[in-house]
Amino acid sequence: MMSSSSLAAALLSSVVEEHHHSSAKVTVVGTGQVGMAAAFAMVTQGIVSELALIDMVETKLRGEMMDLQHGQAFLRTVKVQASTDYAVSKGSKICVVTAGARQNEGESRLALVQRNVEIFRTMIPQLVKYSPDTILVIVSNPVDILTYVAWKLSGLPRNRVFGSGTMLDSSRFRFLISERLNIAPQSCHGYIIGEHGDSSVAVWSSVNVAGTRLADIKSNIGKPDDPENWEQVHRDVVSSAYEIIKLKGYTSWAIGIMVSTLCNAIMKNQRMIYTLSTLAQGFHGITEEVFLSLPVVIGEGGITSILNQNLSADEARKISESAKTLHQVVIGVKI
Amino acid sequence: MASLAEKLLLHIADEGHHSSAKVTVVGTGQVGMAAAFSMMTQGIISELALVDMVESKLKGEMMDLQHGQAFLRTVKVVASTDYAVSKGSKICVVTAGARQNEGETRLQLVQKNVQIFKHIIPNLVKHSPNCILVIVSNPVDILTYIAWKLSGLPRNRVIGSGTMLDSSRFRFQISERLHIAPQSCHGYVIGEHGDSSVAVWSGVNVAGTRLRDILPNIGEKEDPENWEQIHKDVINGAYEIIKLKGYTSWAIGIMVSTLCNAILKNQRTVYALSTLATGYHGITDEVFLSLPVVVGENGITSIFNQMLSESEAAKVLASAKTLHEVIKGIQL
């Protein structure tokens, strides 16, 4: 007979207190299209045990949290919490920052800067307060500038603050190359480095398939005199986001998968090489204190190594210019 | 002069074009895209076709999915307003239709969506005569019936998402009260995907232990712990999320992807799905509503002879009558 004790108490005999330490907790700040695509990708791929969502509108937060929770019976269970209070992020292995104004049609990434710096001033110190050992992954644009700002505001060592940078550009690059060669993107290897934006650098000198450099077969690949116009691939990458925004209003899926892949690499200490926005001072002749994308080794300690990538003289010059462009903006930013 | 591609790769045989795991999603709104994205991140398909009416949106969604390919097992993604792009699909998922508005019941959407289906369904069957149709658009039980009539397909190959999601929400809510994983809480919501759905409290169990054996009046009016509130929360689940975030997407997306995986892998999992229910629990009308069924590569191959209490059976029958009333009034 049931008295005041609940059904739960009658059904389950407690052996010991429930464990509260989350070994695989990720916080996503910003529940817009990018943040939610990243959250959904992490949940469907089973790479987190706990997910915390933070934003400024409580109704939206609650709706997104419920919508994710209602699919739980079909997935490995993930605890999903959501709040406007940063305390919900406590104990996160990774904090992914997507919050900020969305890039409008025709707007360059650099035009978003000061708006987002103000938002970061509130956000970054709070994330670090509740998860002092966390890794900060910055996605908000302009990502290279904002990763630099996040690093300054966080007080964290440079290995634990990095930006999504050109990880997605490189994925788009490989996809477009794969379309021309009619093989899988995973089998086409190539990197885009530098600014995640108009001055990014396609490293044509090392683009390869099965170790065979395309530049060895076609010496003018990616150059203005190339009759097959492979540099169009790079231009298409740079304009990709703008184009998708024009067509569907925003981008979400590719950046979502990218964030989820990156978080998995950190969680599982994979030591994968991706192009991510990191402190680039000292590389390729860069003297300024700027963040831009270079191929790095990523694992549970964040960025633990930077690849000493061989660049052609032209590519090295371009990246140095990319650094200067970013530095010009950085010095104008009030942190 | 040979192109770079020709110099790099020596062609020895023609590329195969037969897609063994192709799924078409009709409707690139929040539901359709969440389903598509979920199928891709879970690696359950080899080819995805998106169909809708606005070309720019289609192209944008296709590009956005393609740009993540380097991080996933490659999936060919195509998109068009022309149904020919759906050719050779194993499964066609229909999410197209007017979205449920705040306060609007599912039944109020009916006639609007019937007109849309008259265009969609025959086109899908024309290009993939052997496919399985999965209907998600609401009101799902009515529209699955409509799709079956318009398609000419046998009843095992026309499936409605029905109460598969309701059951998932049900299990989640039970899991919150018991503080264990939803996957370990077993229970079904059957009947109409809507206000007259039926929570089968008589069968709800954890590790084979029926909750009803511990709390005999569970889910009934006299239940002091008010477990029936869970069922009410399930019915309101969609309305509440729509009020909070404007629409629902993630849960239904995962649900569709899970269902497609069960079909493609011939899993023979038991889910509550909307199917022809004539002959069950005293139902004599020709209606589709959700019952626990076995689903695999040939669609619904068995229906569960689920044991219901008298009051549960009466509720399912009432649910069938409600649906039949609506069907009678539809112009096909």
Q: What is the DSSP string of B292-321?
A: EEEEETTEEEEE------HHHHHHHHHHHH
- Which of A40, A230, A248 comes nearest B60 by C-beta? A248
- Which of A11, A175, A218 comes nearest B206 by C-beta? A11
Residue B1: the pLDDT is: 67
- How many contacts (CB atoms, under 8 Å) link A and B? 210
- From chain A residues 204-223, the ones with a CB under 8 A of any chain B CB are 209, 212, 214, 217-218, 221
Whether A147 contacts A117, CB under 8 Å: no
**Minimum Cα–Cα distance from B174: chain A residue:** A8
Query: Which of B50, B179, B245 is best to mutate for the A interface (most A CBs within 10 A)?
Result: B245
Across B8-32, average pLDDT: 89
Residue A3, pLDDT > 50, answer no
Q: Comparing A18-22, A226-230, A298-302, B190-194, which segment has the lowest mean pLDDT? A: A18-22
Q: Do B41 and A68 touch (CB under 8 A)?
A: no
- Token match 């969604």: residue? B61
Whether B197 contacts B166, CB under 8 Å: yes
Across A22-36, average pLDDT: 94
For B157-166, what is each residue's pLDDT tens digit? 999 999 999 9
Given phi > 0 = left and psi -120 to 50 = alpha, else beta, which region is B270? Answer: beta
Question: A-chain residues within 8 Å CB-CB of B65?
Answer: 253-254
Question: A-chain residues within 8 Å CB-CB of B272?
Answer: none
Distance CA A210, CA A190 (A): 11
Which member of B127, B186, B193, B281 is catalytic? B193
Q: Looking at the complex, report in whole angstroms how far the Cα of residue B148 sits from the nearest Cα belonging to chain A.
A: 27
Q: Do B245 and A64 touch (CB under 8 A)?
A: yes
Q: Give me the phi and psi of A53, to 5 degrees please.
A: -110, 135
Q: Do B211 and A260 touch (CB under 8 A)?
A: no
What does the DSSP assignment read for A275-294? EEEEE-TTSTT--S--EEEE
Across B90-99, average pLDDT: 92
Question: To the nearest whole number, what is the mean pLDDT of chain B?
Answer: 93
A56–chain B Cβ distance below 8 A for any pair:
no
Residue A5: the pLDDT is: 54
Across B58-67, average pLDDT: 96
Question: A-chain residues within 8 Å CB-CB of B270?
Answer: none
Question: A-chain residues within 8 Å CB-CB of B165?
Answer: 70
Classify residue B147 as exposed, middle or buried by CB count within 10 Å of its CB (0-12, 13-18, 19+).
buried
Residue A4: the pLDDT is: 39
For B284-326, what is each residue's pLDDT tens digit? 999 999 999 999 999 999 999 999 999 999 999 999 999 999 8
Across A71-79, average pLDDT: 86
Tally: H helices and E strands in chain B: 10, 14
Is residue B193 part of the annotated active site? The answer reads yes
Residue A171, pLDDT > 90, answer yes
Residue B97: the pLDDT is: 85
A233–chain B Cβ distance below 8 A for any pair:
no
Distance CA B19, CA B74 (A): 13
Question: B-chain residues within 8 Å CB-CB of A18?
Answer: 179
Classify residue B318 as exposed, middle or buried by CB count within 10 Å of its CB (0-12, 13-18, 19+).
middle
Residue A115: the pLDDT is: 83
Question: A-chain residues within 8 Å CB-CB of B72?
Answer: 257
Residue A2: the pLDDT is: 37
For B44-55, what is each residue's pLDDT tens digit? 999 999 999 999
Q: Do B178 and A68 touch (CB under 8 A)?
A: no
Given phi > 0 = left and psi -120 to 50 = alpha, else beta, which region is B265? Answer: alpha
Across A274-283, average pLDDT: 96
Residue A108: the pLDDT is: 67
Distance CA B192, CA B320 (A): 7
For A121-143, what is each residue's pLDDT tens digit? 999 999 999 999 999 999 998 89
Q: How confident is the model at residue B107 (pLDDT cuts 50, 70, 90)?
A: low
Distance CA A154, CA A148 (A): 10
Q: How confident is the model at residue A110 (pLDDT cuts 50, 70, 90)?
A: low
Query: Which of A14, A18, A67 is best to mutate for the B interface (most B CBs within 10 A)?
Result: A67
Name the percent of chain A lying above pLDDT 90.
Answer: 80
Question: B-chain residues within 8 Å CB-CB of A12?
Answer: 178, 180
Q: Letter for the amino acid at B179? A: H
Across A193-214, average pLDDT: 94
Whether B200 contacts B308, CB under 8 Å: yes
Q: Do B255 and A251 touch (CB under 8 A)?
A: no
Q: Letter for the amino acid at A314? A: D
Q: Looking at the complex, report in whole angstroms how far the Cα of residue A309 sits from the nearest Cα belonging to chain B.
A: 21
Whether B290 contacts B135, CB under 8 Å: no
A247–chain B Cβ distance below 8 A for any pair:
yes
Among the listed residues A168, A211, A210, A215, the one whose alpha carbon sits nearest the alpha carbon of residue A192: A168
Q: Looking at the complex, report in whole angstroms how far the Cα of residue A268 sits from the nearest Cα belonging to chain B.
A: 16
- Which run of H or of E encompasses A53? strand A50-54
pTM over 0.80: yes
Whether B109 contacts B138, CB under 8 Å: yes
- Which of B37, B41, B251 comes nearest A70 by C-beta? B251
A272–chain B Cβ distance below 8 A for any pair:
no
Residue A228: the pLDDT is: 93
Residue A1: the pLDDT is: 37
Residue B20: the pLDDT is: 81
Q: Which residue has the higher pLDDT, A335 or A71?
A: A71
Q: Comparing A188-197, A261-270, B31-40, B92-101, which segment has the lowest mean pLDDT? A: B92-101
Across A299-306, average pLDDT: 96
Residue B198: the pLDDT is: 96
Distance CA B100, CA B242 (A): 8
